[in-house]
Amino acid sequence: MKKIVIQGIGYVGLAMLTFCAGAKKNNKFIYNVVGVEKKSVKGNKIIQEIESKKIPKIVDDKMFHNFYLNLQKEKRIKVNNDRNEYKDADIIFVCSNCDYNFKKNKVDLNTYLKNIEDISNKIKKNCLMVIQTTLPPGTTQKLIKPLIAKCLKKRGIKDFYLSHSFERITPGKDYFISMKKTKRIIGGICKISSIKTAKVFKDIFGLSNDKITIFNSPSESETCKIIENSYRATNIAFIEEWRKFCEVNNLDLETILNCIRKRKTHNNIMRSGIGVGGYCLTKDPLFGVASSKQVLNQRIEFPLSVAAVNVNRKMSYNIMSEVKNKFKSLLIKKKVLLMGVSYRQDTNDTRHSPAENVFDFLKKMKCNISFFDPNVGYWDYIKQKTVSKNEIKNFKVFIYLTKHKTFKNLKISFKKNSVILDLNHVLDKKKKEKILLNKNLKSYFIGSKSI
């Protein structure tokens, strides 16, 4: 039985660990699988949580929970921080992050490459390493490949296989399905590397050939991920420009966008919102510049992608400034309830959530801030628990930030002179109309005419 090691057990690594451990053929498990985390406070915490046999908090998907728990009962979920696990691995999936340092305006490649070096110093001949990390295009071919070769050469080893295959996992209730059914993109350093990687994905996910795209190089795979996320981030920034225009001129942006969506060629145009969150869209558009300057030694500029990130980073602050101007006396030093703090609907993922910026803005206004989020029981950013459903009635200022499905059926009897601010299209048309008809309530709905 071949051995797979998953390096880095975060959102991506946990899913890969689980699906690899659950892969079967003729009703028998195919691989011996183990997850390896770093020897750090965070890494030890992840290991302890998994070994405690609790369902990992980072996932909120019943299908995945059932799949995971069944494998746990069969003792298939194994994790540790022993680097020696790499020594006899046939396949290694690298799922650790490559972070962007906004203060230095560069990707932290040194830390990431040190991790690759640690792995490479242990691996055996003919090991297949599959990089799932989002990287500046050219990193795998220009930096990782020669680094692995250098490490192996010291031990008299020449042959190894290497591919880049980025993840497209969807946090939240589609976590399982997004891993199971998504198309896989593969860019190997050679044809054999790509073929071997494709076979592993077919074994793990039961994919047919039409669900696998093989590029000519790792750089094409890396570029695919960056363009995909840069496109989305740029669309969001584009709508923010027009949101500000419509706000100043008292135009109903939502009505305008709904009209545009009736054209089939434009039916996926973005909506306005409180801001961009998550781990990918907040940084990935900057990886083009990083590739040019840090990897390829070129001078290619990416003005649109960089501008999109800058617009999106300021979005929450700009919207909150507008809200402050409209409702200043009704917000300063008031008791405020944030409705939803995850960056994405129906998930507990709070990484780089726009709610952080909203919280900081309100803090400067000396507001007393709490949050209600059934998906996020505890918010690390403010070290607090969500208020209970029964406590909602104690507030008079409500700021809707996340479009959780649970909010759709949530009935709130707003007190007289309450302020309701929907900054992410959370409330449906009927609820909005009901609020607007109540003269005892003050309200604002993003993208709609000023109230």
Report the predicted TM-score, pTM, of the whole model to 2 decimal places.
Answer: 0.92
Would you say 165 and 185 are in contact if contact means Cβ atoms under 8 Å apart? yes
Q: At what angle do helices 11-22 and 62-73 cross, to 10 degrees?
A: 60
Decide if pLDDT at 450 tops 60: no
Residue 111 belongs to what H/E stretch?
Answer: helix 109-120
Quote the CA–CA distance of 1 and 119 in Å, as a whole number.
Answer: 21
User: Is the confidence at residue 65, as pLDDT, over 90?
Assistant: no
Domains delineated in the chain: 3-226 (3.40.50.720), 332-451 (3.40.50.720)
Q: What is the mean pLDDT of the chain?
A: 94
Task: Specify the pairing of strand 161-164 against strand 128-131.
Answer: parallel
Main-chain phi, psi angles of 372, to 5 degrees:
-125, 115
Please report the pLDDT score of residue 54 as a whole number: 74
DSSP string, 300-312: ---HHHHHHHHHH
pLDDT of residue 63: 87
Residue 310 has, within 13 A of its CA and on its CB side, a CA count of 7
pLDDT exceeds cutoff 60 at 2: yes
Q: Does the structure show a pLDDT above 50 at 91? A: yes
- Check pLDDT > 50 for residue 424: yes
Extended strands (E) in 56-145:
79-80, 91-94, 100-101, 106-107, 128-131
Q: How many helices (H) and strands (E) in the chain?
A: 14, 19
Residue 361 corresponds to which tokens in the numbers above? 């803005």
Residue closest to 287 by CA, chosen among 134, 150, 398, 405: 134
Which segment of 174-178, 221-225, 243-247 scores lowest on mean pLDDT?
Answer: 174-178
Check pLDDT > 90 for residue 181: no
Query: CA-CA distance, 172 to 170, in Å (whole number)?
Result: 6
> Which tops the pLDDT comparison, 49 or 113?
113
Beta-ladder partners of 419:
397, 442
Nearest to 16 by CA among 221, 192, 176: 176
- C-alpha–C-alpha distance, residues 34 and 31, integer Å: 10
Min mean pLDDT across 46-55, 119-128, 152-161, 243-252 is at 46-55
Residues 6+ apart with CB under 8 A from 106: 100, 290, 293, 294
CA–centroid distance for 25 within its chain: 32
pLDDT of 444 strictly over 70? yes
DSSP-derived 3-state class of residue 35: strand
Torsions phi, psi for 56 (to 5 deg): -55, 135
Residue 372 has pLDDT above 80, yes or no: yes
Q: Are 109 and 134 in contact (CB under 8 A)?
A: no
pLDDT exceeding 90 applies to what percent of the chain?
Answer: 86
Residue range 381-388: mean pLDDT, rounded: 96
* Contact between residue 358 and residue 318 where contact means Cβ atoms under 8 Å apart: no
SS3 52: coil
Torsion of CA 280, 62, 25, 1, to 10 degrees: 60
> Which amino acid type is present at position 285?
P
Backbone conformation region of residue 275, classed left if phi is above 0, alpha if psi is from -120 to 50, else beta? left
